[in-house]
Amino acid sequence: MTSFTVAIDGPAAAGKGTLSRAVAERFGFAHLDTGLLYRAVGAKGGDPVRAAQTLSAADLGRGDLRSAGAGEAASKVAAIPEVRAALVRFQQDFARQPGGAVLDGRDIGTVICPDAEVKLYVTASDEVRAHRRWLELRAQGDVITEAQVLDDLRARDARDTARATAPLRPAADAVLIDTTELSIDTAVEKACEAIKRRMGQGRG
């Protein structure tokens, strides 16, 4: 197979990361959680543009990139056009590697890979997303209430959707997957069905 790109977008804690990893494994595609790029830039501190330009594999391997603080920092640096520009080429090159690739983030189908063969937009209710994120943070040892997580999540949604550069929104031709009441297995099957239709064969 030559290149085949699956773009998966959606807000925080909608399930796109879990879905993306499962889809990549199912089809043997490479996977990139593009949110880690921005989390790593935010976590590095200092000048965010310089941090984006010098991002390394070691930066992506930090153990604190899933923390609430890293998530907040990511949303803030992602609003800086120069940071986004520095990371665009890396993502686009990854997307077109031979053998297929799955990228998940907030602007993959709209900005990074507008010509992706498959575009998915994964969402869920605010309350369900906040509960999922709270469980994840609690497991990491973060001391935070579910109400605080909900407030933070809504603030981040507002910031991500209102930013002038690459706002969070579904691509016009994206397949919507609402995971509010779906099991992960059902959500994965819906995603795989969309990919199989595009491939024109029953691979899976």
**Taking every pair of C-alpha atoms in the chain, what is the biggest distance, in angstroms?**
49
Q: Choose which CATH entry (3.40.50.720, 3.40.50.300, 1.10.357.10, 3.90.1170.50) describes domain 5-199.
A: 3.40.50.300
Q: Was 165 annotated as part of a binding site?
A: no
The mean-pLDDT minimum among 106-115, 160-169, 181-190 falls in 160-169
Those residues whose C-beta lies under 8 Å from the C-beta of residue 124, and which sit 6 or more positions away, are 13, 14, 15, 132, 178, 179, 180
Q: What was the pLDDT predicted at 98? A: 94
Rounded to an integer, what distance in angstroms lies between the CA atom of residue 187 and that of residue 79?
29
Q: Was 11 annotated as part of a binding site?
A: yes
Decide if 125 contacts 132 (C-beta within 8 A): no
- 10 Å Cβ neighbour count for 164? 7
Q: Was 61 annotated as part of a binding site?
A: no
Residue 72 has which token pair? 């907040």
pLDDT by residue (tens digit) across 144-171?
A: 999 999 999 999 999 989 988 888 999 9
Q: What was the pLDDT predicted at 133? A: 93
For the chain, the average pLDDT equals 92
Nearest to 44 by CA among 73, 15, 2, 87: 73
- 10 Å Cβ neighbour count for 99? 12
Q: Higher pLDDT residue, 2 or 184?
A: 184
pLDDT(204) > 60: no
The mean-pLDDT minimum among 4-13, 19-28, 29-38, 62-71 falls in 62-71
Overall average pLDDT of the 3-20 stretch: 95
Decide if 181 contacts 105 (C-beta within 8 A): no
Q: Was 13 annotated as part of a binding site?
A: yes
Q: Was 17 annotated as part of a binding site?
A: yes
Q: What was the pLDDT predicted at 52? A: 93
Q: Was 10 annotated as part of a binding site?
A: yes
Q: Was 18 annotated as part of a binding site?
A: yes
Overall average pLDDT of the 62-74 stretch: 87
Nearest to 164 by CA among 101, 107, 96, 114: 107
